[in-house]
Structure 1
Amino acid sequence: MTLWTQEAMNARLVRYADLIPCRTAFIDTKTPGSTEKENFTIIGAGVSESADQHVHITEKHGFNIGAARQPFGCVNSQHSHDTAEVFMVHSGRWRLLFGPNCEDGSLEIGPGDVCSVPIHMFRGFEKVDDGVGMLFTVLGEDDPGKVTWAPAVFEAAAGHGLKLAKGGMLIDTSDGDYQLKQVELEEVIDPETVAKLKTPPLDKLLECVATYERVRANPNPRSPLAAEGVEEAAIITPRPTRDGFEPGPISGWWPHGCNLRLLTLQTGAYVPMHSRQEAEVLILQEGTLEVSWADGAIVMGAGDTLTVPVGLPHAFRNTASVPAIAFVARGTEDPAPPVFLG
């Protein structure tokens, strides 16, 4: 039986202040308009194309957690994924752009909002208000594969010396093409492939968005975590779950491999010791949250990420004067009920 010491649990916590960014993560990082973006790989391998990308926690969870931090006007270029990509807005306002050339419309999301963009379609995003903003992401599966870039992204990157090798490794040729010897390059996708990555109608895409104002606590049956001052709301629930959640508000027509919830504790609220059968990752959106277990406790602050070991009895408490609000990812589409001690 693993002894979860304070030191061992601290290694499963990634503080917002300790996040290590990569500014060379993708093929568009030298393209004007995209040079200031920072990419973070928090849990899992992610989809970065750069050998410089730091991975904070390598343990497999069945999904990946990452983030992007960008200033006003900074763009993350048009791309497609083979597994789920979920955006959780931590700060700032963001515009999601659809289609290989941004021609298929857009949606705007802000703090606390969530959007799960369907697989096999082009999307990009840009920061649209003043200052620097932060998006957390969930990518489906342990190996989310590689990014498929729109043809225009390849063309723009080539003008700034960046090439992509087969398998997704970035090569910078700004000092000469000698690095390309004996390297097979990724090819620009053909028009037929572009046509297959078709954008659904915007009214269909609206099914993939849950605004913070729209999210409601699980009413029937009540969440097993619900208590005085404690609410658990569904955000992504692909199908009915054993712990009492019905599908929605985002269910999707593609695999997610996880559930996403919003857990809110008012001042003084407490969730007693309980354990889970699946991976559980908390990303604190607002306030502070104490997570305790038999041998210690961690106090999370806004922007911190904690992965709780499977089977470890743990409790939650809000000791601050403002609500604690956390996104919680559970590593299955059908989470089991928590097991409470005593």
Structure 2
Amino acid sequence: MTTSTQAAMNARLVRYADLIPCRTAFLDTKTPGSTEKENFTIIGAGVSESADQHVHITEKHGFNIGAARQPFGCINSQHSHDTAEVFMIHSGRWRLLFGANKEDGALEIGPGDVASVPIHMFRGFEKIDDGVGFLFTILGEDDPGKVTWAPAVFEAAADHGLKLAKGGRLIDTSQGDYALKDVELEDVLDADSVAGLKTPPIEKILECVVPYGSAKANAKSPLAAEGVEEAGIIVPQATGDGFAAGPIKGWWPHGCNLRQLTLQTGAYVPHHARAEAEVLIVQEGTFEVSWADGAIVMGAGDMLTVPIGLPRAFRNTASVPAVVFVVRGTESPAMPVFG
């Protein structure tokens, strides 16, 4: 049986207050409107282009988890991904913008909403209400590749001395072009390549959005009990632990499931082990995770990755519901083993 010390589990915990941001993560970092965004790489190497990016947990999970924190009006520029990109809104209201030049429509999402944006299409996002907002992202696979930027992003970045080397390494030439010596620069997409990254009809994109509170609890979930509900959010196919496909299935690989686990006051899930990676992200409330040798109490915005095979139990010790997003590895997670 897998065991773990308190110290080892503490090392797998990333509290919201302890997140280490990078302000120079991407090509648009100096572009007006984008200068105030903070990027976080929490699990896995992510897609940051900066050597200054801190990675909190390097262990491979089969997916990456990152985050962004932005004030009102701050923009993350138009880009495309080769693997899944999922947005989980923790706070604030956001607008997703589609098309190489934001010409293909938009979608507004807020706290608790989930949107999985199809691969091979341009998207950007901006914070649209007052104050600072925060969102988590899931990126597919251990190596999610690199960001593909819209041509206009290269043009704007060049005006501020930023260039991108082959392979996705950011170079700041503001102190002189000597920084480009012996460097092969990333190609800017031509018109045909841009046209190939076509935005699907908006009704197709809406199939990949789950507003907060709309996901239906699965009575067949092995975790279901009095005061405990588990709802599927991203379930690409029918799973070994009793979930039918949907509501987000996608027509591209996700490599994981996303579930919403809700515990009412005093609700308890007994010890059980999983055969897949499992990451717990607290959306709201207080959530206790315990195992044979210890326990961790988590609050909103905290994240814990639980070792494969470690028996873990869950409890809500507070007077308000605990809502937790669960990222579970593989597209068909197996039944947990209780006891």
TM-score, normalised relative to structure 2 = 0.99
Q: How far is 1:213 from its partner? A: 2.8
- Counterparts of 2:205 and 2:213 in 1: how far apart (Å)? 18
Q: Which residue of 2 aligns with 1:69?
A: 69
Of the three residues 232, 235, 238, the one matched with 1:237 is 235
One-letter amino acid of the counterpart of residue 73, structure 1: G
Q: Which residue of 1 aligns with 2:41?
A: 41
- Counterparts of 1:128 and 1:260 in 2: how far apart (Å)? 26
Where structure 2 has 5 or more consecutive residues not aligned to the other structure, the ranges are: none
Of the three residues 272, 275, 298, the one matched with 2:273 is 275
Q: Which residue of 2 aligns with 1:175?
A: 175
- For the aligned residue pairs, the C-alpha RMSD in angstroms reads 0.7
- Counterparts of 1:249 and 1:214 in 2: how far apart (Å)? 10
- Counterparts of 1:80 and 1:210 in 2: how far apart (Å)? 21
- Counterparts of 1:5 and 1:338 in 2: how far apart (Å)? 21
Q: Which residue of 1 aligns with 2:4?
A: 4
Q: Which residue of 1 aligns with 2:156?
A: 156
- Counterparts of 2:123 and 2:277 in 1: how far apart (Å)? 28
Q: C-alpha offsets along residues 278-324 of structure 1, whole Å, 9 cap, x if unaligned?
A: 00000100011000000000001100010000000010000000111
Q: Which residue of 2 aligns with 1:21?
A: 21
One-letter amino acid of the counterpart of residue 231, structure 1: E
- Counterparts of 1:93 and 1:218 in 2: how far apart (Å)? 28
Instruction: Check if 1:308 corresponds to 2:315.
Output: no
Q: Which residue of 2 aligns with 1:266?
A: 264
Q: How far is 1:3 from its partner? A: 4.0
Where structure 1 has 5 or more consecutive residues not aligned to the other structure, the ranges are: none
- Counterparts of 1:213 and 1:237 in 2: how far apart (Å)? 17
- Counterparts of 2:5 and 2:268 in 1: how far apart (Å)? 22
Aligned positions of 1:165-204 closer than 5 A: 165-204=165-204
- Counterparts of 2:108 and 2:192 in 1: how far apart (Å)? 29
TM-score, normalised relative to structure 1 = 0.98
Q: C-alpha offsets along residues 62-94 of structure 1, whole Å, 9 cap, x if unaligned?
A: 000000000000000000000000000000000
- Counterparts of 2:132 and 2:112 in 1: how far apart (Å)? 16
Q: How far is 1:206 from its partner? A: 0.4
Instruction: Check if 1:207 corresponds to 2:207.
Output: yes
- Counterparts of 2:94 and 2:187 in 1: how far apart (Å)? 30
- Counterparts of 1:155 and 1:196 in 2: how far apart (Å)? 20
Q: C-alpha offsets along residues 149-187 of structure 1, whole Å, 9 cap, x if unaligned?
A: 000000000000000000000000111110100000001
Q: Which residue of 1 aligns with 2:141?
A: 141
- Counterparts of 1:261 and 1:24 in 2: how far apart (Å)? 32
Q: Which residue of 1 aligns with 2:92?
A: 92
- The answer to whether the 8 Å contact 2:262/2:324 transfers is yes
Q: How far is 1:2 from its partner? A: 5.7
Q: Which residue of 2 aligns with 1:122?
A: 122
- Counterparts of 1:299 and 1:147 in 2: how far apart (Å)? 35
- Structure 1 stretches (4+) deviating beyond 6 angstroms? none
Does the residue aligned with 1:193 lie in a helix, a strand or coil? helix
- Counterparts of 2:291 and 2:214 in 1: how far apart (Å)? 33
Does the residue aligned with 2:317 lie in a helix, a strand or coil? coil
Q: How far is 1:216 from its partner? A: 1.2
One-letter amino acid of the counterpart of residue 165, structure 2: A
Identical amino acids, percent of aligned pairs: 83
Does the residue aligned with 1:322 lie in a helix, a strand or coil? coil
One-letter amino acid of the counterpart of residue 259, structure 1: N
Distance 1:65 1:155, change over 3 A: same
